[in-house]
Structure 1
Amino acid sequence: MAMRNLTSGTVRVWTGWTLGRVLLVILALGVLRVPHTDVTSDVKVIYQGWAEVLRTGTFPLDDVTWQYPPLAGLVILLPLWLPGSYFVAFLALVAACDAAALGLLLRAGRRGGGRSGAWLWVVTVPLLGPTAYCRFDLVVTLVAIAATLSLVSRPRLAGVLAGLGAMLKVWPVLVLAGATPRGHAARRAWTACAVTCAAVCFGFAVSTHGAFSFLDFQGARGIEVESLGALPFYFGSLTGLWHGRVAMHYGSLEFLGRGVQAVSHVMVGLSLLSLAFLLLWRLRNRLWTAATVADAALTAVLLFTVTSRVISPQYLIWLLGAAAVCLTVPATRMRPVAWLVAAAAPLTFLEFPLYFGELVRRSALGTALISARDLLLLAAALLACIRLWRTGADAGTAALTPPGVPAASPAPPARRRATAR
């Protein structure tokens, strides 16, 4: 009977996934149209154009919109090598990664967390609209999910996966920065990550031209219109206290004018404070469980997303993946945080692409939508910090470690480690 219930529950999850993804593909292909939702040009024009350049062995050196580490070039190239049109092949690639992510979440949930994480993934990704399938962030998120789920039992594998993720879009390295326990596990994970990154960089350096041009382009970013740092300029525009403009700048619409550079510096400072918080928490924390790993990973990704100068709609996929991983662990403290992140998904679809014109015009509606989304993410980040800080205060949480995961234990003192070595 238990096996039958397990099977039927899994079938329901996959049925829900199939229905939601069919809807996404229908929207992406234009079979079903929603006003202002043609977001396919990124794949049909930009990605395919990059792929034609990349196939010659060089990166898009003169295109400031290319702002990705070198391994992303392989993802952009792959649809050219698949049968069918570039766009359809890209959709198939993303759908395959989406399905693989769900499979990992279901497998992780069998250790005791149930299917909450899988259902969060099933329901919330379609709420982002066709943007979810018209960017390559689902590919990156799959790697990050796999890295997070591997950290407790296979830290070296987690390090390799985090390194590959970092070479795709940088942020998956946050999984290690926030969640790796101190000691041998940390050294194995970070060493594997460093070796992987070095190997990928070396491979691209000797086989291609301009693999690291993205570093110059990324450093010139400003305050994008969907970021938390943009809110003062929205309210300043509504009240008449700020008279700057919105313009295409380094591949995205950004605020330009008085005070933008100062706010940009503030956002960078907040990112540094986020890093300091995570380091301080690591020094203070003595309890390491599967829940600790997942909770710290979500907190790290949330902090650096909220303090980024850019919060593109597809960034929500990162957060949804990290939140879903938390829900696969029974002892997670991040359930309310995960549902706050989930609530931000439909708001993201409303602000882009449905009412993105209102954001550009800085109207009251546009200001309200982006404020609601960004402040919800800010609330999630602050709540995550509070709950993560309290991790380890109750030693009884060690008893909640899911089956198959080593029991939590305090980090050994430095002298004891030295003696054992």
Structure 2
Amino acid sequence: MPLSDKDSAISTDAFFATLTRIRNVILPAAARSWLNTPRGLLTGFVLVHLGFLIFAALLSLRGEAFSDTFIYRDWARAGFDEANLSGGPSPWVYPILALIPMALAGLAGPGPFFFLWVLMTTILNGWALAKLTDRGRNQAAIPAAWWWLVFTLLMGWLGFARVDGLTAPIVLVALAYGVGRPFIASVLLAAATWVKVWPAAVMLALFAVVKNRLLVVLAGVATSAVVVALAAAVGSVPKLLNFLTQQGDRGMQLEATFTTPWLWLSVLNIGDSRMYMNTAINSMQVDGPGTAVMSVLMQPLLILAALLVAGLTFWALHNGKLNGNGKADGGVDRTELLLAGALTLATAFVVFNKVGSPQFMVWLAPAVAVGLAHSWHEWRVPAAMLIAIAVATFFIYPLFYDALSHNNPLMAGVLTIRNVLLVVLFLWSVRRLYSLGKKTSASVPALKES
């Protein structure tokens, strides 16, 4: 029997039954049927992304950008040379491959930069949905694709004006290839890691789950060798690993999960805690008693959490494969284990991170989207939680970030709820991994490769 989110302690069936009834009242049966077709999904994709493209075009015609793309545009215009910049963060806070889309968006000059950036994100999102649904042929995956579209819409510009929005669809495609095509998945994840570090968490989950781990290592080494060769060609090898050290001494960011106690100390004006802007890296941070110590501890805590989750994933694979006689004649679904491990590791990268930027929430969506396509019932709980997280994040940024950064207690409450949901999501993911690894009877489904 497949594992379920329904057990003696927790049952979500009544909650989701209520949501289904509400959906059925809002959407007639004919509309639901049409939306669950390739044409309906394509219409939704076009409408969602057309809205972002039109807004980007209007801003670009006025010579403007949005959010972090202002910074990316300045870097591209300066040729990614810090000597040509007048302060602000260095372009080398990102891995080197992140500079490629910035350079591409800047090819036509600063004017259309933002539009071209959004267009690139749109193309990658289209690729992700095409792979997720097998170009519309996998009817069962269409609801999962709709979930991805709704999440994308709710996250707003956090998925279109940041580098993270480029990496999320690449990770989704990699997870869709998954354990069936580990080399391709690993190449995509390695390339995405050289754009933004977080896909390394998913690659770690893939390494823990696949049969031929050598393929994962070879893909990572080969991709990294190409990156080093590219860096050598442009004379940037000395800066290749700067992204690992550029932000090492930063403090606790305002939105980070572990910053929540100091957030409230600042709001309540207790213990000299305060919010301040770190202009060197364009980040709002919180300072107070113990924040310096916590800032130092966060990186080793993050590494420890990642290693423990990877170990749990590895344990779940091997423990779940054994029956009572110790023979590997049954076991866990490797794809399910990969997705659970990927979500747990990505959530660990968010929860145990002293940087809590709102765009980090897009890291969590690829595993959930592919999980819904793989087994809607098993993944509906994290899917619902992530929608709630997206809504809360949208209220935090861009709607009321100024109020939050000026000690508004209502917005501090919204941020606290969002952070609690992240912790709950992490605990759910850990519990899911543990459940997959528990020794079961011979009724456990046979090991699957895809």
Is 1:252 aligned with 2:280?
A: no
Two-structure CA RMSD over aligned residues (Å): 2.9
Displacement of 1:309 in angstroms is: 1.0
**Aligned partners of 1:358 and 1:366 also within 8 Å:** yes
Residue in structure 2 matched with residue 46 of structure 1 by the alignment: 71
Residue in structure 1 matched with residue 105 of structure 2 by the alignment: 79
**Aligned partners of 1:226 and 1:312 also within 8 Å:** yes
In structure 2, runs of 5+ residues without a counterpart are 1-32, 319-331
Residue in structure 2 matched with residue 104 of structure 1 by the alignment: 131
- Once the two structures are superposed, what CA deviation does each residue of 1:339-358 show, in whole Å capped at 9, x if it has no partner? 21121111111001111112
**Aligned partners of 2:251 and 2:295 also within 8 Å:** yes
Residue in structure 2 matched with residue 17 of structure 1 by the alignment: 45
Letter in 1 for 2:272: H
Displacement of 1:276 in angstroms is: 3.1
Alignment of 1:221-240 (within 5 A): 221-240=250-269
Residue in structure 2 matched with residue 272 of structure 1 by the alignment: 303
Residue in structure 1 matched with residue 449 of structure 2 by the alignment: 406
Call closer, same or farther: CA 1:365–1:153 in 2, change over 3 Å: same
| In structure 2, C-alpha distance between the alignment counterparts of 1:134 and 1:146, rounded to whole Å | 20
Is 1:204 aligned with 2:228?
A: no
Alignment of 1:141-220 (within 5 A): 141-181=168-208, 184-209=211-236, 210-220=239-249
Residue in structure 1 matched with residue 122 of structure 2 by the alignment: 95
| In structure 1, C-alpha distance between the alignment counterparts of 2:300 and 2:240, rounded to whole Å | 28
**Aligned partners of 2:187 and 2:220 also within 8 Å:** yes
**Aligned partners of 1:13 and 1:122 also within 8 Å:** no
| In structure 2, C-alpha distance between the alignment counterparts of 1:246 and 1:62, rounded to whole Å | 22
- Once the two structures are superposed, what CA deviation does each residue of 1:168-208 show, in whole Å capped at 9, x if it has no partner? 00111211212334575212112211221232023213423
SS of match in other structure, 2:276: strand
The runs of at least 4 aligned residues of structure 1 exceeding 4 Å deviation read 5-8, 26-31, 55-63, 108-113, 181-184
Residue in structure 2 matched with residue 412 of structure 1 by the alignment: none
Alignment of 1:365-376 (within 5 A): 365-376=410-421
Displacement of 1:297 in angstroms is: 0.9
Is 1:312 aligned with 2:357?
A: yes
SS of match in other structure, 2:285: strand
SS of match in other structure, 1:135: coil
Aligned length: 392
Call closer, same or farther: CA 1:7–1:244 in 2, change over 3 Å: closer
Letter in 1 for 2:40: R
Letter in 2 for 1:328: A
Displacement of 1:127 in angstroms is: 0.7
Residue in structure 1 matched with residue 322 of structure 2 by the alignment: none
Displacement of 1:371 in angstroms is: 0.5
Q: 1:364 aligns with which of 409, 420, 423?
A: 409
Call closer, same or farther: CA 1:213–1:136 in 2, change over 3 Å: same
**Aligned partners of 1:291 and 1:331 also within 8 Å:** no
Is 1:388 aligned with 2:422?
A: no
**Aligned partners of 1:51 and 1:80 also within 8 Å:** yes
Displacement of 1:109 in angstroms is: 8.4
SS of match in other structure, 1:107: coil
Call closer, same or farther: CA 1:368–1:30 in 2, change over 3 Å: farther
Displacement of 1:48 in angstroms is: 0.9
Letter in 2 for 1:273: L
Give TM-score scaled by structure 1 length.
0.84
Q: 2:151 aligns with which of 116, 124, 132?
A: 124
Call closer, same or farther: CA 1:183–1:322 in 2, change over 3 Å: closer
Displacement of 1:63 in angstroms is: 4.7
Call closer, same or farther: CA 1:168–1:264 in 2, change over 3 Å: same
| In structure 2, C-alpha distance between the alignment counterparts of 1:253 and 1:269, rounded to whole Å | 22
Letter in 2 for 1:89: L
Residue in structure 2 matched with residue 64 of structure 1 by the alignment: 89
Query: How many percent of aligned residue pairs carry the same amino acid?
Result: 26
SS of match in other structure, 1:115: helix
| In structure 2, C-alpha distance between the alignment counterparts of 1:206 and 1:61, rounded to whole Å | 26
Which deviates further from its counterpart, 54-63 or 194-203? 54-63
In structure 1, runs of 5+ residues without a counterpart are 32-37, 408-421
SS of match in other structure, 1:134: coil
Which deviates further from its counterpart, 60-69 or 155-164? 60-69
- Once the two structures are superposed, what CA deviation does each residue of 1:195-232 show, in whole Å capped at 9, x if it has no partner? 21232023213423334333331212221111112211
Letter in 2 for 1:301: A
**Aligned partners of 1:143 and 1:161 also within 8 Å:** yes
